[in-house]
Amino acid sequence: MSRLCEGRVVIVTGSGRGIGREHALMLAEHGAKVVVNDLGGERDGSGADQTPAQSVVEEILAMGGEAVVNGDDVSSWEGAQRMINTAIESFGDLHAVVNNAGILRDRMLVNMTEAEWDAVIAVHLKGTFAPARWAAAYWREKAKAGEPVDARIINTTSVSGIYGNVGQTNYGAAKAGIASFTIIASRELARYGVTVNAVAPAALTRMTEDLGMGQLPEEEKERMSPRWIAPIVTWLASEQSRPVTGRVFEASGRVFAVAEGWHRGPTAEPVDDPTVLGPIVKDLVTRARLNSGMDGSDLDGGWKESGE
């Protein structure tokens, strides 16, 4: 088997368990030197334990690969910088950052607390920004010094963010932000030899087992194994993915697709009188494509008369 990531140095955040663990193991199988980052917290982000990350490192070493543990908090500015430095100091370079770490604190909007909002935004959104920012600065300096750069940032968004899911205004907002961050960063960093893409995974992990997935039949559980996400992340981390940037890929054992972002829909001539807008808005909304549901198909957002 050809090894896609031979000699490439890759950081995977939140890789002590679940989807991140599968990323780290497959990247190592394909020759990458892996920084296994994991704070080791609970599903809601509380606590810390380096045992899961150390276990993944030991698995990689046992297969003849190279890996080190990093236990920094992805949402910490200084911690993110230390994480990037861990890769460079341990392996002499950095080629890809996989921003995978995440937590859940699901709640309906009317019951959500400030702490539940802040925690999810911090881990997902700042926890994507901070490692990406320090990695980008490293690659920019290399490019300005005339050194070759062929680098990758691979973010983790979600169908909850790009399509919308009830009970996840905090998580969905963070994940939608990550999708936009991906597109904008891809345009900014192209000049330095860096591509930026995102993956929207669906898998049965400790994050999702009590959201109905834990009750699936065994055959469906296999289709929702986190191992189905790792191939696209491994490919995106490789040199082969150089032509692709600014895209979001849906990945699971059920579907593999590229998501299409916001586009301008039906248009009308601008007006400066709000009293005439009713029929115009009705026409625009009626002609517009409906918002997507979680499965990617049309769901809602149409014009609804009173009582419908």
Hey, which residues are catalytic here? 171
Dmax (CA) of the chain: 71
Residue written as token pair 């199988």: 29
Pair 281, 302: CB distance under 8 Å: no
CA distance 62 to 124: 31
Quote the DSSP letter at residue 168.
Answer: B
Beta partners for residue 298, in sequence order: 292
Nearest residue to 12 (alpha-carbon basis) of 59, 61, 72, 65: 72
CA distance 170 to 172: 6
**Helix, coil or strand: residue 298:** strand
Q: Output phi, psi for 128, to 5 deg.
A: -90, -45
- CA dihedral 136→140→141→143, nearest 10 degrees, is 140
Q: Output phi, psi for 2, to 5 deg.
A: -70, 145
Give me 252's structure tokens: 């699971």
Quote the DSSP letter at residue 77.
Answer: H
